[in-house]
Amino acid sequence: MPKTQENPVMDKIISLCKRRGFIFPGSEIYGGLANSWDYGPLGVELKNNIKRLWWKTFVQERDDVVGLDAALIMNPRVWEASGHVANFNDPLVEDKKTNERFRLDHLLEEKGISVSRMSFDVMVAKVKELNLKSPKGNELTPPRQFNMMFQTHLGPVADNENTVYLRPETAQGMFVDFKTIQEASRQRIPFGIAQIGHAFRNEITPGNFIFRTREFEQMEIEFFVHPSDWEKWFEYWLDQQKNWLRMIGVKDEDLYFHEIPAEERAHYSKRSVDTEYKYPFGLKELYGLAYRTDYDLKAHSATAKQDLTYRDPVTNELYTPHCIEPTWGVNRTLLVVLCSAFEELDARSGEEEAVHEKEVVLRLPRKLAPIKIAVLPLSKKEPLSQIGHELTMSLKKIYSCQYDETGSIGKRYRRQDEIGTPFCITVDFDTVDDKKVTIRDRDTMAQERVEIDRLMEWFADKGLTI
């Protein structure tokens, strides 16, 4: 399992992810593929829970946001109009001996040189001035601009006329479909279009586990507003991103909100704020919020020669809407949830036996936990096993549950703590007569005896969701 910059906390999280089936290297039996990750049984449940909660919060519970699932491959003219063909570049250098590629700005930052205000030409001059070498001490090729879009071809012939791209962001589908969606849904400005989907960027130096990958998922909203209202809505969506982070268990003190200066903003942005998180490997970007003005709608209107304006049905004003874009990365959200929930503590007393000197508790918010309830009969034999199986199947109609009858009850509690299960149900020998089970809370370790017939009501009172 690859390590992450010799970071002990991050190494423990990565190890836990593989051991318990959250996340592990893709194509591993063939030696893997650089920075390719697969989400296992628990990982896919956690990922789906994040997306489900986001969709419920920002689409289903609102009347001013509607959904979209746009195609991964779009007409290549979309990316010309959006500026990605011309502007979606990173400065690249290559190790002459190993042929490894590196981001030039990253190499300079590792030397303590701030590149935030540097043009490409200035960075090239810095390479010569410093006689910059690769991380392995080898000579580097001259810097060049590297477009990060994945290029492929439609049809059986691979030529320039059939060139298309895997989308580097989900946003453009929402801009291209703006008029159709607005008219079909009869939405009035202000309103938003939301989408969850995969995007692809041919990153030169991916790394830090799932922090930066070439294939990732975005949860994104393009919120269309009147040009005069953009500042109000920008602050509103910044607050919404903060509220979301509290909802998924991220502490305010682990966050920093970075106002991006004009010279560092994307070509389409008039204001941008990055939400940064204190990862075990440092303070780095988590989410983005951008005021894209009317750049995209006007660009597509001019290139496609289509009218993408909006006429207000009350004032009769005709204008091109401006756009506020809050973006949440699914993969980074999952990583931050794991980092925020991970806790290593001394073996907890009061429960039969300590399994290890150090024990891990993954304090996942109940809404996100992959397994909500574990059913643990004290015996593999009937009638306890039968009661346990029947109880598990009954609870599974509403909640994600896991049945576990292997090992001592202490070891089983530890296994469930490691994967973040909020509640464990113990079926004991008294259950046969009194029709009650013992529910144990992951965080408080408190135990309560509850009638089997009242379990659904009990969990509902605790606010446990699907």
How does pLDDT run across 79-94, given as a tens digit for each residue?
A: 989 988 877 777 888 8
- pLDDT tier, 135 (very low <50, low <70, confident <90, very high otherwise): confident
The more confidently predicted of residues 185 and 122 is 185
**332: pLDDT strictly greater than 80:** yes
Q: Tell me, yes or no, if the two domains 89-147 and 367-461 fold the same way.
A: no
Binned at pLDDT 50, 70 and 90, residue 206 comes out as low
Give percent of the chain with pLDDT exceeding 90.
73
Q: CA-to-CA distance for 247 and 367, rounded, in angstroms?
A: 9
For residue 205, the model assigns a pLDDT of: 65
Examine the pLDDT at 349 and tell me if it is beyond 50.
no
* pLDDT level of residue 107 (50, 70, 90 thresholds): confident
Tell which wins on pLDDT, 263 or 188.
188
Distances (CA, A) of 58 to 71, 88, 148, 466: 21, 29, 30, 18
Domains of the chain: which residue ranges? 8-82+152-337, 89-147, 367-461
CATH numeric code, 367-461 = 3.40.50.800
Q: Which CATH fold topology does 89-147 show?
A: Herpes Virus-1 (3.30.40)
- At residue 173, the pLDDT reads 97
Q: For the segment 267-321, what is each residue's pLDDT rounded down to a tens digit?
A: 889 999 999 999 999 999 999 999 999 999 999 999 999 999 999 999 999 999 9
What are the tens digits of pLDDT across the range 43-79? 999 999 999 999 999 999 999 999 999 999 999 999 9
Question: What pLDDT is recorded for position 1?
Answer: 43
94 vs 408, which has greater pLDDT? 408
Mean pLDDT value across residues 348-374:
79
Q: Pick the range with the lowest mean pLDDT from 2-11, 311-320, 395-404, 439-448.
A: 2-11
pLDDT value of position 146: 76
- Residue 2: pLDDT band with limits 50, 70, 90: very low
Q: Which of 86-95, 102-111, 209-218, 362-371 has the lowest mean pLDDT?
A: 86-95
Distance separating alpha carbons of residues 143 and 141, to the nearest angstrom: 6
Of 64 and 103, which is predicted with more confidence? 64
Separation CA 8–CA 199 (nearest Å): 30
Binned at pLDDT 50, 70 and 90, residue 127 comes out as confident
**pLDDT for res 3:** 43
Name the CATH topology of 8-82+152-337: BirA Bifunctional Protein; domain 2 (3.30.930)
Could you give the C-alpha distances from 276 to 197, 242, 282, 356, in angstroms and in order?
A: 22, 11, 10, 34
Q: Given this model, what pLDDT does residue 5 score?
A: 47
